[in-house]
Chain A
């Protein structure tokens, strides 16, 4: 393997700002953010180029998901095969990545999704993001494909493409351990894929550390298609801020602000599992794929029961909440297992959706998907769907090669997880994701698939909550709760307060359709900016009205980078990010027809739960009306295409503008 040393690392010495060629005149000394760099890595030609990120791009897109989406739209040519070398992988750290507050270690991974064909984008916490910044890079653009397995070694301003033949076939934990051993450095942080990514499972994820995953939309599959086993970083350089003292004080304020919410306190103790108690009691959890909206025999899944296995909590970089369990499973046929998690997501994926009633099943399955590098949610969603097809007789033992896919059959689930990761037997079909599996199975199996744009939905049942339902339909990456979910809708807050937050009347009744399009629109903008600055969504208005949002982001950006934004300007950045994602999807042939819900949402009423959530379906006409309102708020026409004036207002009429380029 060739060793490529980046030639301009000496420019990175932060003490010599005046010598940096891109440190233009008129830029105040405090704005160190202009000096942060993007690296272009071509795996085919082995060419590596590092460049500064232009000021204008920062102002328009901030960083993280924002700049990644800008790059995705600019660099990936229309209609490319997601698994071809022409697809590119973008890794971007948030603008505030590294500040000691709000779980600021977040990093965004993007590409055209091999699962859905639309925007592929997944966010990862943990320690990789800050380490990448400490190594001197904010963004990576990876193109091409190596002949032999390789991994990237990034350290203090230099990038090498190294041989990874010895890592091929190793699971995500072993891979990271071996890279650390190879480099004799315990502090190396990795993004790695497991065997699922190597085998091009369409929903393979990218893993970092024991717990963190960029789970959704198959970013691990894109890495696998490039023969890229891992990206390893080690950095000892400085991350500079424009107002360090004020920033320190303000970070303390932010951490206090979030820790004063009851939600954060509960999360500190039980992690995201705490959501289960509330949503299951209410009746918002899909059970047996989509047959019931509450898991009646799920006492063992209550978060308190996690106390039996947990040895303590663990946090991502810069997070005071620390919502991850470190758990040990001692007495089980699969023991001993030490792992981290599980999230609320896995609780549904391997619990409620597949009718498994034991916490232990979830702990084992969680460990398995993490080991193989599979998206927990997509895996669980597909297995649940297959189980319903098996029950309905659409598929039988012949199709599953002897696997008895009966509800709650945990051994069949573990085996199917293994098969998916290794692309064996029936797992090989599921490994293709919903779109292909539906086409191959046929026989009306699409009716049972709870997916939007080819991406599985969370185990949440949105029939009683129109705001959530609209959110999964409009999400640019397919059915997804992290694009817009206005979780505070469930709190029944006073309408006066809601109006203050959302800027117009919004109903406080979560089963109502009134004002919910505005709620979704507003949250979409907020989460786009949250991902762009690289803080954790759980530490924003996701969890409580008095949690940080626009005003706090504004101050944090000002203190960390010296960039001044008004609230309106920040919201505009959110609009810009969301609209460029939309433009990418439109270019790939997606439109209003794809902003849809599974048919069952309209046809099958809910049966149990709180009286207020019983007998609910989504009303088709009102849903379409919400969609109209939602498009109008974004400044898109009735087919979901951005209007000319919107493009001009957001400066998107010039896209693709190629402001960031590999060549001069």
Chain B
């Protein structure tokens, strides 16, 4: 079972370590603008949402690519760009519904999350665990448990009244 880069915005503290380690790992420099992940912020509302490629089941980037340069990696499930084929038309950037593909501000090439070959560094560095690399079963169970807790709280309140 392939793992999924799972985002929990409620836990994000907005420190942007994910951005800087991503650029440091891939480009050997620090520049959040060239990272494959970005924390979108509404500062005055206190809302931070990390945005990154979702490695879709039916990837639009793959569909629209005229050069068939975007392919799924069998090992990690990540959609990878084959730069030998890529002509830089940026259709993938235009069509991705999440902004998952970004244009490198320096080279002008397109770039996207490659899950660091199965060990995403952003996850490794994310102390609040807003980014996690989990298998689907774990994600499902966690989501359900979190939702069920609300019922459990409600039950406790009802019992206390009774």
Interface residues of A (CB under 8 A from B): 14, 98-100, 127, 130, 134, 173, 177, 186, 209-210, 236-241, 244-245, 247-248, 251-252, 255, 259, 268, 311-322, 326, 328, 338, 340
A485 to B10, CA, bound (A): 35
A407 to B124, CA, bound (A): 50
The number of A-B residue pairs with CB atoms under 8 Å apart is 103
Q: How far is the CB of B147 from chain A (nearest CB, A)?
A: 19
Residues of chain A within 8 A (CB-CB) of B44 are 173, 177, 210, 338
Q: How far is the CB of A572 from chain B (nearest CB, A)?
A: 28
Are A248 and B25 in touch, CB under 8 angstroms? yes
Residues of chain A within 8 A (CB-CB) of B106 are 238
Residues of chain B within 8 A (CB-CB) of A320 are 15, 17, 125, 127
Residues of chain B within 8 A (CB-CB) of A318 are 15-17, 20
Total residues of chain B contacting the partner, CB 8 A: 32
Residues of chain B within 8 A (CB-CB) of A239 are 29-31
A312 to B34, CA, bound (A): 28
Residues of chain B within 8 A (CB-CB) of A236 are 31, 33-34, 105
Cβ contact of B24, chosen from A244, A315, A316, A322, cutoff 8 A: A244
Residues of chain B within 8 A (CB-CB) of A99 are 20, 30
Look across to chain B and name the residue whose beta carbon is closest to the beta carbon of A14.
B29
Q: How far is the CB of A296 from chain B (nearest CB, A)?
A: 33
A-B contact pairs, 20 of them (CB 8 A): A100-B21, A100-B30, A100-B125, A130-B32, A134-B32, A134-B33, A210-B43, A236-B31, A238-B27, A238-B31, A252-B125, A312-B11, A313-B13, A313-B128, A314-B13, A314-B14, A314-B46, A315-B15, A338-B45, A340-B46
Q: How far is the CB of B77 from chain A (nearest CB, A)?
A: 24
Are B21 and A248 in touch, CB under 8 angstroms? yes
Known A244-B29, A255-B127; contact A315-B46, beta-carbon cutoff 8 A: no
Are A322 and B15 in touch, CB under 8 angstroms? yes
B150 within 8 A of A: no
A237 to B28, CA, bound (A): 13
A240 to B27, CA, bound (A): 10
Known A238-B34, A244-B29, A248-B121; contact A100-B24, beta-carbon cutoff 8 A: yes
Are A98 and B46 in touch, CB under 8 angstroms? no
Q: How far is the CB of A638 from chain B (nearest CB, A)?
A: 47
Cβ contact of A241, chosen from B30, B121, B124, cutoff 8 A: B30
Please list the 6 inter-chain residue pairs (A to B) with the smallest Cβ-Cβ separation, ordered nearest first: A315-B15, A322-B13, A326-B46, A315-B13, A238-B29, A320-B127
Known A134-B31, A210-B44, A238-B30; contact A319-B15, beta-carbon cutoff 8 A: yes
B41 within 8 A of A: yes
List B1-60 residues whose CB lies under 8 Å from chain A. 10-11, 13-17, 20-21, 24-25, 27-34, 41, 43-46, 48
Known A255-B125, A317-B16, A322-B128; contact A241-B43, beta-carbon cutoff 8 A: no
Q: How far is the CB of A13 from chain B (nearest CB, A)?
A: 9
Residues of chain A within 8 A (CB-CB) of B17 are 100, 255, 318-320
Are B16 and A127 in touch, CB under 8 angstroms? yes
Residues of chain B within 8 A (CB-CB) of A321 are 127
Q: How far is the CB of B107 from chain A (nearest CB, A)?
A: 10
A127 to B105, CA, bound (A): 20
Look across to chain B and name the residue whose beta carbon is closest to the beta carbon of A104.
B20
Q: How far is the CB of A378 from chain B (nearest CB, A)?
A: 26
A251 to B21, CA, bound (A): 9
Residues of chain B within 8 A (CB-CB) of A317 are 15-16, 20
Are B31 and A237 in touch, CB under 8 angstroms? yes
A98 to B41, CA, bound (A): 19
Residues of chain B within 8 A (CB-CB) of A312 are 10-11, 13, 46
A326 to B124, CA, bound (A): 25
Are B43 and A247 in touch, CB under 8 angstroms? no
Residues of chain A within 8 A (CB-CB) of B30 are 98-100, 130, 238-241
A19 to B105, CA, bound (A): 22
Q: How far is the CB of A366 from chain B (nearest CB, A)?
A: 15
A319 to B128, CA, bound (A): 11
A479 to B162, CA, bound (A): 58
Residues of chain B within 8 A (CB-CB) of A173 are 44
A311 to B41, CA, bound (A): 15
A209 to B44, CA, bound (A): 8
Cβ contact of B29, chosen from A240, A259, A315, cutoff 8 A: A240
Look across to chain B and name the residue whose beta carbon is closest to the beta carbon of A32.
B29
List B78-113 residues whose CB lies under 8 Å from chain A. 105-106
Q: How far is the CB of A267 from chain B (nearest CB, A)?
A: 12
* Of A127, A173, A245, A315, most B-chain CB atoms within 10 Å: A315
Residues of chain A within 8 A (CB-CB) of B20 are 98-100, 317-318
Q: How far is the CB of A565 from chain B (nearest CB, A)?
A: 21
A531 to B106, CA, bound (A): 31
Q: How far is the CB of A543 from chain B (nearest CB, A)?
A: 16
Are B41 and A186 in touch, CB under 8 angstroms? yes
